[in-house]
DNA sequence: CTCCGAGTGCTAGCGCTGCTAGGAACAAGA
DNA sequence: TCTTGTTCCTAGCAGCGCTAGCACTCGGAG
């Protein structure tokens, strides 16, 4: 009994180790630097060990993504609940979203750009992802104006994702990013928004 | 003279051949199937020939992207100029944008997801890209309402890109895509938009 | 205490990738 | 006809994701 469970515990621990090592490596040098060989070296095991835990490299990235969703959800929640009113709630949660993508690009990539395997807009999607989405929905809700909340949230999310992605890919200059975000908020809240709109 | 220029002509022709072969291969089997070996085989030259034309594989993708921008610009222009009024112009150009990404995913990827090397939001960006952007700007213009047109266009473009990207990556279900697009248009035109909004 | 069998993790290697060095073959000018 | 310069191919490097098959370790039975 106990010895069996110890082994399981150690195994689970090693799996966690793989995930955190992959994330660290990705955050330090980008996902293109995360190879199975380097990952194996980092966890001080041989390459094939990875495949006894995960079906392939993609599955490792997916595992990192699932973990990352939780972080994202937490940060979005904090931003939203700290806001005094509905309009600034959307502004703050948006800023938090962008800041997350900016501060943890590797994690953001894992969730939204890298892999495709994990289910998304279905009930089987990771709970943390739903949580993150719900935070966004809660912030969008007051500005729905009768529109379908789910779809409107998806649309707003897509807009944020587009801004983040194009900026990170060098398609949009970082300059005036705040203004673009403010413009987006204006369009979704109907109000001429507050800060960062001076240009 | 003439013999020199003939060689140059042949060389340019072969370069074009490489680009179209890469695009065809990508459209048929996706960019992950475009390897230098397969590309070389397809143009019936050896691998190193590719490197006498382009610095590396990325440069080939970039070349494809530049060509693709022209196509995109043409389609956007056609959609915009065919519209009877400002509101439907934005709707049609948006639909055309999405349709382009949907119908030619490999080309869209080359332009917006794949490579990073080509300059974008700078004067050195390919002229066709500027043309495409200008089409969007012309459609967004009437709804700018005093906002900076360039930045507003960028924001709208980002939103479209987000919708397209998330849907293509499986992050958003294809279902109700039209409704999401309609919601976005509502927010940018201020009007409760026309067709495809029944859900 | 000994031995066996399950299971764990290693070495080695496959077929692929992007990319490059070096030489063969060919064409143009003397 | 010989030389010179270019063109393009063969062969190979280092690294990729992934896997087959063996060596070893270690818990449990006799």
First to last CA, chain B: 67
Which of the residues A158, A186, A189 would you substitute to probe the B interface, choosing the one with the greatest number of B C-beta atoms within 10 Å? A158
| B2: confidence class by pLDDT, cuts 50, 70, 90 | low
Contact B169 A113 (CB under 8 A): yes
Q: What is the pLDDT of residue B57?
A: 96
Q: Is the pLDDT at B148 greater than 80, yes or no?
A: yes
| A155: confidence class by pLDDT, cuts 50, 70, 90 | very high
- Distance, Å, A177 CA → D17 C1': 38
Q: In terms of domains, do B10 and B73 share one?
A: no
To the nearest whole percent, how much of chain B has pLDDT over 90? 75
Query: What's the token pair of residue A69?
Result: 């969703």
Determine, yes or no, domain membership for B59: no
Determine, yes or no, domain membership for B26: yes
Q: In terms of domains, do A19 and A92 share one?
A: no
Q: In terms of domains, do B30 and B115 share one?
A: no
Tell me which chain B residue has its CA closest to the CA of residue A161. Answer: B162
Please, which positions of strand D sit below 7 A from a protein CB? 7-12, 15-21, 27-28
Determine, yes or no, domain membership for A60: no
Determine, yes or no, domain membership for A147: yes
Determine, yes or no, domain membership for A21: yes
Q: In terms of domains, do B128 and B159 share one?
A: yes
* Residues whose CB is less than 8 angstroms from the CB of residue A49 and which lie 6 or more positions away in sequence, other chains included: A14, A40, A43
**Contact B58/A at CB under 8 A:** no
ipTM: 0.89
Q: Is the pLDDT at A72 greater than 70, yes or no?
A: yes
Name the domain count of chain B: 2
What CATH number did the domain enclosing A193 receive? 1.10.357.10
B154-188: b (≥16 Cβ within 10 Å) or e = bbbbbbbbbbbbbbbbbbbeeebbbbbbbbbbbbb
Q: What is the pLDDT of residue B196?
A: 42
Which of A11, A30, A53 terminates a domain? The answer is A53
Which of the residues A58, A155, A197 would you substitute to probe the B interface, choosing the one with the greatest number of B C-beta atoms within 10 Å? A155
Q: What is the pLDDT of residue A113?
A: 86
Q: In terms of domains, do B14 and B45 share one?
A: yes
Q: In terms of domains, do B46 and B105 share one?
A: no
Q: In terms of domains, do B156 and B134 share one?
A: yes
Q: What is the pLDDT of residue A198?
A: 37
Among all strands, which nt has the closest C1' to B3 (CA)? C28
Q: In terms of domains, do B34 and B105 share one?
A: no
Average pLDDT over chain A, rounded to an integer: 90
pLDDT, greater one: B47 or B123: B47
Q: Of A151, A149, A146, A156, which is closest to residue A93 (Cα–Cα)? A: A156
Q: How far is CA B14 from the centre of its chain?
A: 24
To the nearest whole percent, how much of chain A has pLDDT over 90? 75
What CATH number did the domain enclosing A17 receive? 1.10.10
Task: State the greatest distance between any 2 C-alpha atoms of chain A, in Å, as a whole number.
Answer: 67
To the nearest whole percent, how much of chain B has pLDDT over 70? 93
Determine, yes or no, domain membership for B132: yes
Chain segment B70-92, per-residue pLDDT in tens: 999 999 999 999 989 988 999 99
Could you say which of A112, A165, A180 has the minimum Cβ distance to residue B154?
Answer: A180
> Alpha helix locations (H) across A44-148?
47-53, 57-81, 86-103, 105-109, 127-140
Q: Which residues of B fall within a CB distance of 8 Å from A186? A: 147
Average pLDDT over residues A56-78: 95
Q: Which residues of B fall within a CB distance of 8 Å from A187? A: 155, 187-188
Could you say which of B112, B148, B169 has the minimum Cβ distance to residue A116?
Answer: B169
Average pLDDT over residues A22-44: 96
| B22: confidence class by pLDDT, cuts 50, 70, 90 | very high
| DSSP assignment letter at A175 | T
Q: In terms of domains, do B129 and B193 share one?
A: yes
Per-position DSSP letters for B46-86, written without gaps between them? -HHHHHHH-SSHHHHHHHHHHHHHHHHHHHHHHHHHT-SSH
Q: Is the pLDDT at B146 greater than 90, yes or no?
A: no
Contact of B73 with B131, CB cutoff 8 Å = yes
Q: What is the pLDDT of residue B167?
A: 93
Q: In terms of domains, do A15 and A70 share one?
A: no
- Distance, Å, B2 CA → C13 C1': 54
Determine, yes or no, domain membership for B183: yes
Q: In terms of domains, do A169 and A121 share one?
A: yes
Which CA distances in Å does B175 have to A70, A148, B96, B171?
A: 26, 14, 18, 12
| A117: confidence class by pLDDT, cuts 50, 70, 90 | confident
Cα angle B10, B41, B108; round to 5: 85
Contact A183 B158 (CB under 8 A): no
Which of B16, B32, B53 terminates a domain? The answer is B53
Determine, yes or no, domain membership for A58: no
Chain segment A184-198, per-residue pLDDT in tens: 999 999 776 544 433
Strand C-proximal residues of A, range 46-85, CB below 7 A, are: 46-49, 52
Q: Which domain covers residue B18, as residue numbers?
A: 1-53
Among all strands, which nt has the closest C1' to A58 (CA)? D17
Which of the residues B160, B161, B178 would you substitute to probe the A interface, choosing the one with the greatest number of A C-beta atoms within 10 Å? B161
Q: In terms of domains, do B17 and B84 share one?
A: no
Q: Of A57, A91, A121, which is closest to residue A187 (Cα–Cα)? A: A91
């Amino acid at each position: 009994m106990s010895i069996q469970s110890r082994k399981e515990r150690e195994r689970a621990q090693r799996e966690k180790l793989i995930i955190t090592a992959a994330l660290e490596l990705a955050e330090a040098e980008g996902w293109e630097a995360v190879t199975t060989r380097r990952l194996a070296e980092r966890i001080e095991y041989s390459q094939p060990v990875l495949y006894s835990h995960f079906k392939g490299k993609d599955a490792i990235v997916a595992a990192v993504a699932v973990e990352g969703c939780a972080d994202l959800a937490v940060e979005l929640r904090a931003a939203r609940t700290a806001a005094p009113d509905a309009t600034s709630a959307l502004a703050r949660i948006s800023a938090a979203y962008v800041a997350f993508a900016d501060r943890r690009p590797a994690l953001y990539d894992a969730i939204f750009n890298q892999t495709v395997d994990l289910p998304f807009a279905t009930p089987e999607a990771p709970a943390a992802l739903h949580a993150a989405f719900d935070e966004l929905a809660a912030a969008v809700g007051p500005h729905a104006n009768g529109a379908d909340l789910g779809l409107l949230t998806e649309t707003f999310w897509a807009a944020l994702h587009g801004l983040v992605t194009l900026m990170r890919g060098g398609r949009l200059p970082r300059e005036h990013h705040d203004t673009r975000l403010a413009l987006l908020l204006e369009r979704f809240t109907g109000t001429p928004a507050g800060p960062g709109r001076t240009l």
